[in-house]
């Protein structure tokens, strides 16, 4: 039998962690401590945030790679951005799509469902740390399974913060956490965008539509306004670029809504090849890898600028 969770008001929570209410409130908002919007804080969550060992932690940058359409390059950019960043930093890739495309590239065996760890529909949440797999040096994966698709209807307000809460014990262990988002709107995506600090939007340049860009921007605004005021737009990354269109004109259209990364991801056969061989990109083609190293440097620079 699980013991009942103690829930505290903001004032009680401030007292519990030894801060003034105002200070606590500012910290809760800036760290997005689950409960920062509702004003109800679980004691167990506060312990995770305020235990002394994590004082110097919680500094990972969480980047959601998101676009509500499929085939734009979310998984591809998540994978190789993570690979490129892991050459110099500790990285966690979260496969947050029930299709589990990224997971299947790394793991042949079945893995326990990520749903087993989340406190959804009356389940007791469990420490998610054992679910994390080390794939390569500096490169860990939180795998996905089809069961994630069951995360559909919010039953409680906390259901929007399941991922946010689940990755708490992980946040201080990585410099970058990349979330590969599903190609749909709904509770799964909202969970990703609520725990993210930044959103990066891949845009496939071949089947490009301004209406699509506008819809994307509206989604971003809605989430930022209603659910996560701290969410920052890192920018759009043009993908599968072939040089057949005037890049300037294309980028202009996107720029009306999003800042556009200077780095453009070229269309390269090495990408589907690496995926078919379940291989890291650096092992397949260094020119293509360089493209993603450039993207990684630009991501780091943009974060450094936005942080301050």
Ligand X SMILES: Nc1ncnc2c1ncn2[C@@H]1O[C@H](COP(=O)(O)OP(=O)(O)O)[C@@H](O)[C@H]1O
- Contact residues: ligand X, CB under 6 A: 70-76, 101, 183, 239-240, 265, 267-268, 271-272, 275
Residue 263: contacted member of Mg ion, ligand X, none (CB under 5 to 8 Å, by partner type): none
Smaller CB separation from ligand X, 81 or 92: 81
Place of tokens 């606590």: 24
3-class DSSP assignment, residue 66: coil
Shortest spacing between CB 69 and ligand X, in angstroms: 7
Secondary structure in 3-state letters for 208-246:
CCHHHHHHHHHHHHHHHHHCCCCCEEEEEEEECECCCCC
Smaller CB separation from Mg ion, 68 or 291: 68
Nearest-CA neighbor of 113 among 151, 134, 92, 144?
Answer: 144
Residue 178: contacted member of Mg ion, ligand X, none (CB under 5 to 8 Å, by partner type): none
Separation of alpha carbons 125 and 115, rounded Å: 9
Smaller CB separation from ligand X, 46 or 79: 79
The span from the first CA to the last CA of the chain, in angstroms, equals: 46
Strand-pair category, 40-42 with 7-9: antiparallel
Secondary structure in 3-state letters for 150-217:
HCCCCCCHHHHHHHHHHCHHHHCCCCEEEEECCCCCCHHHHHHHHHCCEEEEEEECCCCCHHHHHHHH
Smaller CB separation from ligand X, 259 or 272: 272
Shortest spacing between CB 205 and ligand X, in angstroms: 9
Shortest spacing between CB 47 and ligand X, in angstroms: 36
Q: In this structure, are residues 54 and 40 in contact, taking their beta carbons and an 8 Å threshold?
A: no
217 CB-contact burial (10 Å; exposed 0-12 / middle 13-18 / buried 19+): middle
Residue 240: contacted member of Mg ion, ligand X, none (CB under 5 to 8 Å, by partner type): ligand X
Shortest spacing between CB 244 and Mg ion, in angstroms: 24
Shortest spacing between CB 178 and Mg ion, in angstroms: 12
Residue 293: contacted member of Mg ion, ligand X, none (CB under 5 to 8 Å, by partner type): none
Shortest spacing between CB 298 and ligand X, in angstroms: 16
Residue 42: contacted member of ligand X, Mg ion, none (CB under 5 to 8 Å, by partner type): none
Residue 172: contacted member of ligand X, Mg ion, none (CB under 5 to 8 Å, by partner type): none
Smaller CB separation from ligand X, 66 or 125: 66
């Amino acid at each position: 039998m699980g013991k009942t969770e103690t829930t505290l008001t903001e004032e009680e929570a401030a007292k519990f962690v030894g801060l003034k209410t105002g200070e606590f409130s500012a910290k809760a908002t800036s760290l997005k401590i689950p409960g920062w919007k509702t004003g109800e804080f679980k004691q167990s969550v506060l312990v995770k945030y305020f235990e002394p060992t994590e004082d110097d932690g919680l500094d990972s940058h969480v980047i959601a790679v998101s676009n509500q359409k499929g085939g734009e390059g979310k998984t591809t950019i998540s994978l190789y951005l993570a690979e490129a960043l892991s050459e110099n930093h500790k990285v966690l890739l979260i496969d947050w799509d029930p299709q589990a495309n990224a997971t299947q590239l790394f793991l042949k065996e079945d893995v326990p469902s990520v749903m087993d760890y989340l406190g959804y529909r009356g389940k007791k949440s469990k420490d998610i740390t054992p679910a994390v797999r080390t794939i390569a040096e500096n490169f860990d994966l939180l795998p996905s399974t089809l069961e994630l698709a069951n995360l559909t209807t919010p039953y409680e307000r906390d259901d929007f913060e399941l991922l946010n809460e689940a990755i708490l014990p992980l946040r201080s262990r990585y410099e970058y956490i990349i979330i590969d988002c599903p190609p749909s709107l709904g509770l799964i995506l909202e969970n990703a965008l609520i725990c993210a600090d930044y959103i990066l939007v891949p845009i496939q340049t071949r089947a490009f539509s301004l209406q699509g860009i506008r819809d994307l921007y509206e989604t971003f605004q809605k989430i930022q306004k209603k659910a996560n005021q701290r969410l920052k737009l890192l920018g759009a990354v043009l993908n599968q670029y072939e040089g057949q269109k005037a890049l300037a004109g294309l980028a202009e259209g996107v720029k009306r809504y999003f800042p556009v990364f200077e780095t453009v991801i070229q269309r390269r056969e090495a990408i589907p090849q690496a995926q078919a061989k379940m291989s890291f990109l650096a092992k397949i083609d260094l020119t293509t890898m360089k493209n993603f190293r450039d993207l990684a440097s630009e991501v780091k620079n943009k974060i450094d600028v936005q942080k301050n």
